[in-house]
Amino acid sequence: QSVLTQPPSASGTPGQRVIISCSASSSNIGSEYVYWYQQHPGTTPKLLIYRNTQRPSGVSDRFSGSKSGTSASLAISGLRSDDEADYYCAAWDDSLSGYVIFGGGTKLTVL
């Protein structure tokens, strides 16, 4: 099965820009969209970025997504204390009859 690899942790100070990466182990992901979710402790994951670069209504433009080949990134600019959360990437893998994989998550700390 394919794997999406994220750094376990990231950090930044208020106002900084932070980038979280998501790398796929398989080229199966290369043509698929990547999604990003934000999860604060004790809450449900929230869709942050869909289809690589798109923000749902209501999501701050401080969050942006990009994708190149089998790697994707989430950038958070103007870091705020309430950005401290876990961030997960996800993608559809079209092999093995199709399934969804999640990255292992990145815990973002705002120093």
Partner 1 sequence: QVTLRESGPALLKPTQTLTLTCTFSGFSFTTAGMCVSWIRQPPGKAPEWLARIDWEGDKYYSPSLRTRLTISKDTSKDEVVFTMINMDPVDTATYYCAREDSSYGLFDYWGQGIVVTVSS
- The residues of the shown chain that bind partner 1, judged by CB under 8 A, are 1, 33, 35, 37, 44-47, 50-51, 54, 56, 88, 90, 92, 96-105
Our CB check for partner 1 shows the closer of 13 and 97 to be 97
Beta carbon of residue 67, minimum distance to partner 1 (angstroms, whole number): 13
Residue 7 and residue 80: Cα distance in Å, rounded? 20
Beta carbon of residue 33, minimum distance to partner 1 (angstroms, whole number): 6
Our CB check for partner 1 shows the closer of 10 and 17 to be 10
Residue 75 and residue 38: Cα distance in Å, rounded? 12
Beta carbon of residue 111, minimum distance to partner 1 (angstroms, whole number): 22
Our CB check for partner 1 shows the closer of 13 and 58 to be 58
Place of tokens 């992901």: 29
Our CB check for partner 1 shows the closer of 5 and 71 to be 5
Residue 21 and residue 39: Cα distance in Å, rounded? 16
Beta carbon of residue 78, minimum distance to partner 1 (angstroms, whole number): 25
Burial class (CB in 10 A: 0-12, 13-18, 19+), 69: exposed
CA-CA-CA-CA dihedral for 50, 52, 54, 59, to nearest 10:
60
